[in-house]
Structure 1
């Protein structure tokens, strides 16, 4: 409840200092006039080369999958009047290009009763929505992106949730969200509620005090699983022309239900991260520290989505094991300053230690991450993007299996309306 009252206090404080901005509903052009239709073509390839199973000291089965996905989205405008109504809809289609029973994995394709990946799979969903002023109510299949409820879009097709979400932006700089969702569709499944979610309630908001300072507070209750609280503070200190120092602090506090943990009193966990980013023109240097405390590791995608991990040290590994501490050093480069607009590069090294496992009270893991991304800037292929990332991951004890991973994403968005 403390988090809920903090969110309300944040809204009241904001309301006392800011006036409401333009009324979005009053500016509506109509159901058809403001509608849009888009199609995203996504070609994705994963290769995980396992070096050894650290527990059994044997080589694990490598994973190699390649697929083509299509993500179509329609968003209507709102009807005119004090209360506007509209409809959103989506259609998903995934096609298997290459993999096999022995190489399938990573949440790409559904499998049949023999464990063989399906050649294709599809899903569709829709939302009905209403808007008053700058407050929108949606009910139906959605793709939430909140710190305590965030759908995973890191494979061929995105994860979806069905429920109700209210988003209010009545005060400039302030966004409030409240919702209840009762089903979760996994990325590689087509059946309704393939994620076996009973329900999740979410409440929270974010507020930009200035252009350089913002904060967020969120609360969630996943039925029979966990209660979570989240907070964020982000501050940018301008230093000189094209130079700035940014600080980003994130923290989750989780109380796991005894029905979920199968323990008498349940388990608890607190995980936080602090990242400092120094930007200098085309270059950026990041240092980050992350720490986990409590009698459990931090768990997500337990009804709150596969991206409910708004923390600094999250790449292939999330460095979220019990008692784990980790630090990161990374570098980013924007090649636009060197005559190649649209091309960017990122490299990061993260080392985790002090991990408490059944076999070792001081286990370790580390990862070297590299990624290139290019977005076509003009011409017939404008907005076509190619992203190539590689992770080299090593761990000891029962933390994880040594592996080298390559992911390639080629995406082309097409705006039809």
Structure 2
């Protein structure tokens, strides 16, 4: 699931007009080495889930701690009309604490004995070229498009492999086009580890290929829209649209409205692995956030209509840009309707910069799941985060996330009652 990484006020995209740029990024290139960037992010994650009211003999708890290292190198571009460069990604995950009876948090690969592996690693690279303000990249990379977004909700993130063209030739307009041939899971290191779902109804599971096209346009500094299309071979095709409008009231107050919609339709037998029948549905969310000083209040509504759940995963674990996709549940079952109330507090206004709090509550109903057409579920999340603002450990962050999920109807994959806790410590270090 996509753990939403943005705040509602930050959704406003600042951009210029639709005039052609006078100077391009390539014409201002300083060189392959001169524009290089090298960074390492360290993440320690304690993750536990307490499954309540499980049948006798079933695993009632998962609990593991890991330490992850993500190194990224991005070269600059050589000078000239066409610039060339390379990117590289290196990842290492280490198990700090686990056990056979507590494995299964999704942080590590699992061995044949049911235990989590002590370590795992992954590396990859990409070549890139730039003409004017258009970049073509081929190889291993992260993506954040609404129809193909890599997930980063565990120890290490997903990666994809393929081609991606990103064009910013017109100010305010970004266009993306890509062809991807592999998706590597967060807890695996072998190639295309989310390639094909191994389901009895799926014949010849194998490599998943995805084609993506779309972009975002900012009409003004406060109004932007996005439109994307994707086709995942043997699974589905998707359309996605978004409108985001920020409305300043004064220097201390503002409103942000955000609308998202997906249209998904089966395009092959493998889609049946997500639902017993073909998919043909629409999923949308509408949110409104009111910010006054240190406080942000958000209300959101989301619903799914048509046949099947809103499905994603083989096109990236983050490919669900819907308001009610939160820590545990996505509230994306067939015919489901859900409401959210959220409150954010930024303590900088009270003399403690870097400290923030968030709490939200989402309730879903009318979910069409096995055994009922009125499935209900709810989730409550609480989060506190502190980021050091200065000193030798500047940008070191500490985060506590607690989620409580309940569903008497087993809406979310048959898990009726879960208490979840995550403790996250991150330190991003820029070397170059």
Provide the TM-score with structure 1 as the length reference.
Answer: 0.93
In the alignment, is the contact (CA less than 8 A) between 2:48 and 2:105 conserved in 1?
no
Please list, as runs of the form range in 1=range in 2, the aligned pairs for 1:8-407 lying within 5 A after superposition.
17-53=18-54, 60-196=59-195, 197-262=207-272, 266-301=278-313, 303-315=314-326, 316-399=328-411, 400-407=415-422
Distance 1:293 1:57 in 2: 36
In the alignment, is the contact (CA less than 8 A) between 1:244 and 1:280 conserved in 2?
yes
Distance 1:350 1:254 in 2: 24
Label 1:15 to 1:74 Cα distance change in 2 as closer, same or farther (>3 A): closer
Which of 403, 410, 414 is the equivalent residue of 2:425?
410
Unaligned runs of 5+ in 2: 1-14, 196-206
Total equivalences in the alignment: 401
Deviations 1:256-298 (A, max 9, x none): 2341244998221110000000000110000000001111011
TM superposition shift of 1:20? 2.5
In the alignment, is the contact (CA less than 8 A) between 1:51 and 1:60 conserved in 2?
no
In the alignment, is the contact (CA less than 8 A) between 1:148 and 1:308 conserved in 2?
yes
TM superposition shift of 1:107? 1.5
SS at 1:356's partner residue? strand
Unaligned runs of 5+ in 1: 1-13
Distance 1:209 1:57 in 2: 58
Moved more, 234-243 or 216-225: 234-243
Label 1:58 to 1:296 Cα distance change in 2 as closer, same or farther (>3 A): farther
Distance 1:341 1:16 in 2: 34
Provide the TM-score with structure 2 as the length reference.
Answer: 0.90
TM superposition shift of 1:198? 2.0
The two structures, once aligned, show a CA RMSD in angstroms of 1.7
Deviations 1:205-232 (A, max 9, x none): 0001001100000000000011011000
Moved more, 147-156 or 17-26: 17-26
Distance 2:57 2:248 in 1: 52
TM superposition shift of 1:17? 4.4
TM superposition shift of 1:247? 0.3
Distance 1:172 1:21 in 2: 10
Label 1:30 to 1:405 Cα distance change in 2 as closer, same or farther (>3 A): same
Distance 2:335 2:153 in 1: 27
